[in-house]
Amino acid sequence: MDVNSPQLQSQNFEISGSKKRTIKSFLIVLVVFIAIFFLGINFYLTKNKGVPKSEVAIKSTPKQDIPKATLDWLNTQKDERGFYNHAVNCDTKSCQNIEKAGGSGHDGIAVIWARYKYYQKYHDANDLKIVNSDIDNYEKQLNKMEIQNDFWNCSLMYELWKSSDFNEEQKKKIERICWTGTYLTIPEIESFTLRRSDDNFLFRSETNLLKDVKKTDLLNPDTKGKITDSKIVGRVREISSYPSDFVSRYYWKNNKKDLDIAEAYFNKITDVYFKKPTVFTSENVCILGISSFDLYKATSGQDYLNFSKFVFENKINNNSPLCGILADKLFNETNDNKYKTSRNETTDFILKNFYDNKGIENKLVGAGGFFKINSENKFIFRKEIRENALIIGLLLSE
């Protein structure tokens, strides 16, 4: 065939035109795709403009999923005995420095309670299975030792004991976890040599200062200052929780003596609250407020309710999980929305600033759980097991 024929030239022209149209279509599609991509980026940046990185990142773990995710993390925090650890210290890459629980593993009591609270809300049979397994393990250890009562062992276990979700055998085990424990007696407390100065003992006299409470009593400039003795602070936290525990023991056995003991402890630690407020951290003062509220529920004494409200109004820190629990109790009792608002603000603050969600501000390790909240609302690369359990309980209260 003649390559110069008009027929062949026409065919070559048509082929060449087809290629041009294909290239042109491809370029149009590419331009449209690039335009859509950049419009999407611009929309995302505009939508999140001014939003803290932690607030954006938290969306990757929905709020309702965080209690379960934290419980899953807590389930990895057990030692060879099956006891929950006390705490774990972290750096920016990992959380490997574990502080094991003491001999009695008492920090884990709060985890058992938190998981049961989760079961009550979502009814996952596996959670109840884990709760029963933990109860079995802790009760078994009671043949070798006592569980130290330095917090709400009885208060937390009583919530399980009164439930119909546990058979009589399990209830006896739950009861043993509470009742096989030790407390400091009033004379032992009075004999302490814990001091802030040579002539200033922590406890001096038993005085009930519930009446005629004045704000200036708490905020006297002469008593303000930094906490310098961590051992005193620890003792104050422990004794502040005693009244709630003895109120629960009173409910358990209906023994008026336990209620009398609860009030005696409360009077003793309240005296310290007014005389030496500097030994009360934000956690301690809210524990005391909760003890006062629990005594109000047991006695119907209006002074106790008034004092718990006073503590709420004058608390050092809005964002301690324990202060959130106090606000929740006051809201449920009074239906005053200011307590509900405070509780929700506390949970939101904790979620946005202390949850170890991968990618938040590019400085967390993404291993799960909540970092420690100090008395100044500052971030600490440390996760305390009991505090994580209390946060779960607070989140579930909303």
Percent of the chain that is helix, strand, coil (3-state, to 5): 65, 5, 30
Which burial class, exposed, middle or buried, applies to 144 when counting CB atoms under 10 A from its CB (0-12, 13-18, 19+)? exposed
Whether 89 and 99 have beta carbons less than 8 Å apart is answered as yes
Domain 63-396: give its CATH architecture.
Alpha/alpha barrel (1.50)
Q: What are the CA-CA distances from residue 312 to residues 137, 339, 344 (Å)?
A: 37, 9, 15
**Spans of all domains in the chain:** 6-49, 63-396
Predicted structure pTM score: 0.76
Q: Would you write out the chain's pLDDT as a tens digit for each of its 398 residues?
A: 444 444 434 444 343 455 555 555 655 656 556 666 555 555 544 444 443 433 434 445 677 889 999 999 999 999 988 899 999 998 877 888 999 887 667 889 999 999 999 999 999 999 999 999 999 998 988 777 777 788 999 999 999 999 999 999 999 999 999 988 778 777 766 655 333 332 333 443 333 323 333 333 333 323 333 434 566 777 888 899 999 999 999 999 999 999 999 999 999 899 888 887 877 888 889 999 999 999 999 999 999 999 999 999 987 666 889 999 999 999 999 999 999 999 999 999 999 888 987 645 545 677 789 998 776 667 788 999 999 999 999 999 98
CA 256 to chain centre: 32
